[in-house]
Structure 1
Amino acid sequence: MRFSPLLFIICILVSCFLIYIDRPESRPQALTGMRAGFNDLATPVLDLSVRPFRGLANIGPWWKRQFELADENRNLRMQAAEMRAWRDAALSLQERNARYREALNLQADAAEARISAWTVADRSNAFVRSRLIDAGHEDGVRPGYPAVNVYGLVGRTVEVGRSSTRILLLTDINSRVAVMADRSNARALLVGDNTEYPRLEYLGAEPDLQEGDRIVTSGDDNVMPRGVPVGQAVRDRDGRWRVALFSRTAPIDLIWIWPFEPVQAPEADPVIELSTPEEAN
């Protein structure tokens, strides 16, 4: 069946007219109202007709989620059982440690004696790595006290004012701290060089050190207490040992100053002369 040219032209004109009036800016207000009313009437009907198909489509993901929740619940139960075992072991070790301390007459470091302070200024530049905190001599801070955050050792106090203190960071070129590997007790000196990863010096020819070893203070320098977490051992591009500091895990904001009194040299202690029984008589 062939269309006449007149019918073809009429179809083209009608199409152009419909396209023109379908534009939002050219659409008649009456047509817009009719379309809005039709949408209002059709939307509830369409929603009711789609609900069964929507429910069928959600059955698969719902059951998949139930299986995932069951597996997650099973894993959490296993982890809870393991944590209970570790808790019992920790309580047993805590009790044994308390008995050892009592037998050896050891005094644990009092965590409540630490001085809390906030960082108020960053004094770091190309040549210096330091922080200024809002605690000073009036708060009990003294030069040489270790400064730690929630992750590990940050540095030590060097300039103490009445209500402020400057902390020399471990990354500063003037920082020197005696450290050791927690796994092998390999001793070294942590030397700052104004980079984010201070060096490990004086390790020896063949040190018992591995990538990822936990580095803590050794206390050999009588400047820092023993066992304060410092970081992890890493190698740089040149194969030299460095330390990725724990304290750099988060911004250094809240800091605790750890009052630490070094052990006095024997010459500084008074000599007590004991008399023999013959001298006493």
Structure 2
Amino acid sequence: MPRSIRDVALVVVLLGLCLALIFSYGKKSEIGAAEAVVYRVFRPLEQGVSGVKNKLASLWNNYVYLVGVQQENRALKEELSRLRREKAELAAREAENIRVRKLLDIKTRLEHPSVVAQIIGEDASGWFRTFFIDKGTDDGVFAGMPVTATEGLVGRISRSAANMAQVVLITDSALAVDCRVARTRDRGVLRGALEGGCALRYLSPRAQAQEGDEVITSGLDGVFPSGLPIGRIHAIRMGEQGLFLEALVTPSVDFAALDQVLVILSTRGGFDVQSWTEERP
């Protein structure tokens, strides 16, 4: 018989004797001399086996516990991620609701009918400062109509199709807006500036405009209603010909953050200039 098999058999026999002694010890009130000797010999072995058994049981219980904790942590992380997504969605909806409420508030205060439009795209070429909205001729939106936002004037409809339209921004040099400085009533023509923002040109050399003054539409061009915010002056300089002053204006509207605008539904020919030049009480 191989040695390894004999060793295993011997261990099994010794363990059997040990267990027999342990069980017989519980049934007898006294232990014989031979049994006592055997018990003393195998007691350390029995204690070792019992200790290993207890450690294995403890390790198994710890493993089961850790598996449970990992599953619980995974579930908690998934729940946390879901709650964060829901919070972000709610915040986005709340911000959108606030923007819509502000647009509707402007809509109710305007003297002219208007329609809220969603921005659906930008000019891909990058040569022109324009974007596209989801309203068109089917909604009463035609070329030449003013476009505004909660912060101020955005631009003007340049082209319109059945269900979409193109808007040219006030920062485009091709668009001209008749404006005033709100504080001093100095009048000029606003166009997009090559260095960014806008330039209020043809101001009188005697103009009292200063940095920080607000610029608004005058309503005298027959295109844009009066009083729409444009932006604030951040610099004043002499014009190229040296005949007029020129004010550099930072627009009130953050065009990069826009997603909704308000189209003012004027008549096809623009606003009646006469109605804006009449004296009002």
Per the normalisation by structure 1, the TM-score is 0.52
Per the alignment, in what secondary structure is the counterpart of residue 138 of structure 2? helix
Alignment partner of 1:263 is 2:264: no
Deviations 1:192-244 (A, max 9, x none): 13543111110021211011111100011111111111110111798952111
| 1:87-236 paired onto structure 2 within 5 Å | 109-110=110-111, 113-123=113-123, 125-235=125-235
Per the alignment, in what secondary structure is the counterpart of residue 254 of structure 2? helix
Per the alignment, in what secondary structure is the counterpart of residue 156 of structure 2? strand
Q: CA deviation at 1:191?
A: 1.1
Matched positions, count? 163
Kept after mapping to 2: 8 A contact 1:171/1:195 = no
Cα separation, partners in 2 of 1:172 and 1:257, compared to 1, 3 Å: same
Query: RMSD value over aligned CA atoms?
Result: 3.1
Q: CA deviation at 1:168?
A: 0.7
Per the alignment, in what secondary structure is the counterpart of residue 226 of structure 1? coil
Cα separation, partners in 2 of 1:245 and 1:192, compared to 1, 3 Å: same
Per the alignment, in what secondary structure is the counterpart of residue 202 of structure 1? strand
Per the normalisation by structure 2, the TM-score is 0.52
* 1-structure distance, mates of 2:202, 2:184: 15
Q: CA deviation at 1:260?
A: 2.1
Kept after mapping to 2: 8 A contact 1:146/1:224 = yes
* 1-structure distance, mates of 2:191, 2:124: 17
Pick aligned residue for 2:260 from 249, 254, 260: 254
Detail structure 1 runs of 4+ shifted over 6 Å in the superposition. 236-239
Cα separation, partners in 2 of 1:199 and 1:115, compared to 1, 3 Å: same
Q: CA deviation at 1:124?
A: 6.2
| One-letter code aligned to 1:252 | L
Specify every segment of 5 or more residues in structure 2 that has no aligned partner in the other structure, as ranges.
1-54, 59-108, 240-245, 275-281
Matched with 2:83 is none
Kept after mapping to 2: 8 A contact 1:231/1:244 = yes
* 2-structure distance, mates of 1:158, 1:242: 24
Kept after mapping to 1: 8 A contact 2:199/2:248 = yes
Matched with 2:248 is 242
Q: CA deviation at 1:109?
A: 3.4
* 2-structure distance, mates of 1:119, 1:194: 24
Cα separation, partners in 2 of 1:258 and 1:243, compared to 1, 3 Å: same
Specify every segment of 5 or more residues in structure 1 that has no aligned partner in the other structure, as ranges.
1-29, 34-107, 266-281
Cα separation, partners in 2 of 1:264 and 1:238, compared to 1, 3 Å: closer
* 1-structure distance, mates of 2:255, 2:140: 28
* 2-structure distance, mates of 1:124, 1:246: 24
Q: Identity across aligned pairs (percent)? A: 28
Q: CA deviation at 1:250?
A: 6.2
Deviations 1:64-97 (A, max 9, x none): xxxxxxxxxxxxxxxxxxxxxxxxxxxxxxxxxx
Kept after mapping to 2: 8 A contact 1:192/1:199 = yes
